[in-house]
Amino acid sequence: MRSEKKSVLAALVCILLIVATSTSCGDFFPSPKAIVAITISPTSGAVKPGATQQFTASGTLGNNQTQDVTGQVNWSSSNAAVATINQAGLASGVALGNATIQAKSSNVIATATLTVSNVTAITITVASTTIITGGTTQATAVDQSSNNITNTVTWTSSDTSVATVSSTGVVSGVSIGSANITASLGSITSGAVSVTVD
């Protein structure tokens, strides 16, 4: 009788171990079709009020395959007063400002930024086109109406080993050479200004 009870108990323990192991494995090894990572494109955009911007989402699945998951994720805007977005990833500008666009699937989240503005052209200038290594100079951006948008645009250096540029347009000399500085807002990009580092 005792041996029978022991056998039943052993069988129950085995079943519990199998269930526990299966659950743990499920946590470590997601389903082949589960979305484990999301990338949004573009990562930033700019539109006028009333205009639209299409965002797409690329998902990495549990089987390491990558596919378009634009229609599978849940889209949302951090500020519906500035921009809205439907479940097909199409964002609409409502009023001037900035909004964070989010694509979510379960606990996997990716974000992008959307700026709603009236900018149609960007012009940049720098206080000095020649700086020393370790030195800095200020870059300034204005729109077609000469409004200062220095802190709104995205700054880029063509060669960060020579010169870097901060989000507020501060250009820093890194090493001797030349680099082109540009500013962009969505699909609108300024002409380049060359900065030489001595």
Q: What is the DSSP track for 69-127?
A: -TTTSEEEES-TTTEEE-TTSEEEE-SSEEEEEEEEETTEEEEEEEEE-----EEEEES
* pLDDT per position as a tens digit, 38-58: 999 999 888 989 999 999 999
pLDDT for the residue numbered 68: 96
Structure tokens at 133: 């290594």
Query: What phi and psi values does residue 139 have, to the nearest 5 degrees?
Result: -100, 145
pLDDT digits (tens, 9 = 90+) for 59-75: 999 898 999 999 999 99
Which pLDDT score is estimated for 152?
Answer: 87
- pTM for this one? 0.66
